[in-house]
Amino acid sequence: MKKVEFYSYLKDDYVNTALIIEYDEVTNRIDSATLHSNNYGVITVENNKTEVHIWENEDHVRELSNLSKRHTSILLNGPSNDTTIKDKIIKDITALLATQQISQENQSIINKIFEVIK
């Protein structure tokens, strides 16, 4: 199992964008991938199944319970069918990759994951 990882940070220990791909280095079969955008949400790929999750907004969190009104935390909502969010996450990841030195082997794996999620 091999892993390709790229990150950008807003500050120490706070990820802004990330691309993490795990694949079999012999067959180049992708086992899983995560495309993380602090602005919009997360795309996950596992067994060629793609799910898009968006971040909850603060108003939604406060509506859930009295406890969450006082102690809010922003989490991922369930899977979303919003293709504009998916496109925005992809755009954030593309911007991240534009700042990286990427080997030809890694670029091949990255291209595969973009084919799967489109």
Residue type, 115: E
Tell me which DSSP letter residue 56 carries. P
Which range scores top for mean pLDDT: 3-12, 62-71, 80-89? 3-12
Number of domains in the chain: 1
Of the pLDDT bands very low, low, confident and very high (cuts 50, 70, 90), residue 63 is low
Model pLDDT, residue 44: 93
- Top pLDDT among 28 and 21 is at 21
User: Which structure tokens are listed for 92?
Assistant: 């954030």
pLDDT single digits (tens) 96-118: 999 999 999 999 999 999 999 98
User: What is the pTM (predicted TM-score) of this model?
Assistant: 0.81
Helix, strand, or coil (residue 115): helix
pLDDT at 42 over 50: yes
Model pLDDT, residue 86: 92
Model pLDDT, residue 77: 56
**What's the alpha-carbon Rg for the chain, to the nearest Å?**
16
Of the pLDDT bands very low, low, confident and very high (cuts 50, 70, 90), residue 59 is low
Kindly report the average pLDDT of the chain as a whole number. 84
Which residue range is the domain that position 9 belongs to?
A: 2-117
